[in-house]
Amino acid sequence: MSQTNDIPAGAAAAAGLMPIPGHIEPMPVPRPGIVDGVTPREDGRIDLLGLPKKRIAELFENAGLDMKAAKLRAKQVYHWLYHRGVTEFEAMTDIAKTMRPWLAERFVVGRPEIVEAQHSSDGTRKWLLRTADAHDYEMVFIPDADRGTLCVSSQVGCTLNCRFCHTGTMRLVRNLTVGEIVGQVMLARDALGEWPKGAGDVRLATMAGLDEDEDEGDYTSDGRLLTNIVMMGMGEPLYNFDNVRDALKLVMDGDGLALSKRRITLSTSGVIPQMERCGQEIGVNLAVSLHAVTKDVRDEIVPINKKYGLEDLLQACADYPGASNARRITFEYVMLKDKNDSDSDARELVRLLKKYDLPAKVNLIPFNPWPGAPYECSTPERIRTFSDIVFQGGISAPVRTPRGRDIDAACGQLKTSAEKKSRAEIDRLLAEKEAALG
Ligand code: SAH
Ligand code: SF4
């Protein structure tokens, strides 16, 4: 564990460390120099990416504009930034020509750095991204006939260690900032050329390894490639609650990225204390990584279960604000051979979901293998039978088709190469994390 672990929360804050809620509480992670969400740059300019309108206005005022002008400029810049995807002040045509260089001298509109862009044979794309302080994380785009889903990361690494998840073998490096989270969605729009007309940034599309014309044939009838967002990349989003909330607010704002909350799903391994807040303060669809129906098995494969148990989790789901038959909660269930895939497991799943009267759908995920993983995927016949039993119990249980396996972009395969570890080291880390869990 990192040597900062025994610093108390107050001291951590004073030392500029960011406490992260989790099973090791608090777990401070160094975030040098971030003040009020603003990361200092070497050239002294301030990156506006990730900031809300109010904060942008404050910064404009601090830079010398009077309050009224600062508010007006902030409104304009916000619109260009999040709604139109513009990264150059020079292109903000409703801002006075003399004002644009003034802004450019003091501010920038950044994007996460793209280290690598990969294309799967099934059309899935994965981008390896790098933070300004040189940590790698990933985002994945999954095109389907009727939708396009962007899988967004919330942390570099993860504090939890679900045994079937490759990300779980990484240490938590740090929480992603609001800009780094919303920046993934903006980068995807750049790469897919999906900003309202005239605002496309060809330079970024080229950087992302995409030709301008390459995707024309992929457009769905309503002309949109990116229609849905899932917070299912690296990390546990509810352990980075504030930043995830603030980023999704920018995504959902009608004058921001303007994506409906009905098209956004947040997946949690079961951080019960933050679930109600998630419903109230963000209001997006909820997915819960259930994966097992008995204490023993869930304790083993989703160790946060030792802290927040199965039945309490289902009660928290029943209480989730906004859940209804029209907006069901998704229960994710990874199919692990001889571990959680028996007929009686399927029957118990139905019993539990009914006991709590949950508006539920079950998503069966074939286990995606990774080097050194301690499990195998259930056979297709087993998965089919399991799905049938749940379906006969009155709950829909489709099997999720694995996507992007050839580029390690499928569920649970995300792990940045910079953090690759040996099997022995993985075992040691797992033991260490479990000891901390108590
Ligand atoms: N941390 C959050 C969201 C990221 S993981 C969570 O755990 O819910 C997204 C989904 O992929 C989760 O349901 C997770 O359990 C699942 N997953 C992780 N590793 C997997 C693997 N190797 N094969 C299939 N699904 C996996
Ligand atoms: Fe973390 Fe989710 Fe992977 Fe569990 S499944 S280790 S919570 S990313």
Task: Enumerate the β-bridge partners of residue 38.
Answer: 35
Cα–Cα distance between 358 and 308 in angstroms, integer? Answer: 18
Q: For 253-282, where are the alpha helices, taking DSSP H only?
A: 272-277
Q: Is 411 a catalytic residue?
A: yes
- The torsion of the CA quartet 403, 420, 34, 5, rounded to 10 degrees, works out to 120
Cα–Cα distance between 216 and 126 in angstroms, integer? Answer: 19
What does the pLDDT read at residue 417? 56
Structure tokens at 345: 């497991």
- What are the φ/ψ torsions at residue 143 (nearest 5 degrees)? -80, 140
Average pLDDT, the chain: 85
Which amino acid residue places its CA nearest to atom 20 of ligand 1? 412
Q: How far apart are the first and last CA of the chain?
A: 15
| pLDDT per position as a tens digit, 277-320 | 999 999 999 999 999 999 999 999 999 999 999 999 999 999 99
428 confidence band (pLDDT: 50, 70, 90):
low
What does the pLDDT read at residue 404? 86
401 confidence band (pLDDT: 50, 70, 90):
confident
Please identify which of the residues 42, 113, 138, 281 carries the catalytic annotation: 138
Which amino acid residue places its CA nearest to atom 21 of ligand 1? 412
Amino acid identity for residue 259 in this structure: L
CATH number of the domain located at residue range(s) 31-108 in this protein: 1.10.150.530
Cα–Cα distance between 110 and 112 in angstroms, integer? Answer: 7
- What are the φ/ψ torsions at residue 433 (nearest 5 degrees)? -65, -40
Q: Is 278 a catalytic residue?
A: no
Segments of the chain assigned to CATH 3.20.20.70: 113-198+205-436
Ligand 1 centroid to residue 46 C-alpha, Å: 35
| Beta-sheet pairing, 264-268 with 285-289 | parallel
Q: List the Cα angle 93/94/97 in 5-degree steps.
A: 65
403 confidence band (pLDDT: 50, 70, 90):
confident
Ligand 1: which atom is nearest the Cα of residue 289? 13
Share of the chain above pLDDT 70, in %: 79
Cα–Cα distance between 173 and 256 in angstroms, integer? Answer: 29
CATH number of the domain located at residue range(s) 113-198+205-436 in this protein: 3.20.20.70
Give yes or no for residue 239 CB within 6 A of ligand 1: no
Segments of the chain assigned to CATH 1.10.150.530: 31-108
Count other C-beta atoms under 10 Å from residue 436's C-beta: 15
Preceding amide of 19 cis, omega within 30:
no
| pLDDT per position as a tens digit, 179-221 | 999 999 999 999 999 997 643 444 444 444 443 333 333 434 3
Cα–Cα distance between 137 and 175 in angstroms, integer? Answer: 11
Structure tokens at 5: 């672990």
Ligand 1: which atom is nearest the Cα of residue 234? 4
What does the pLDDT read at residue 432? 64
Element at 430 (helix H, strand E): helix 423-437
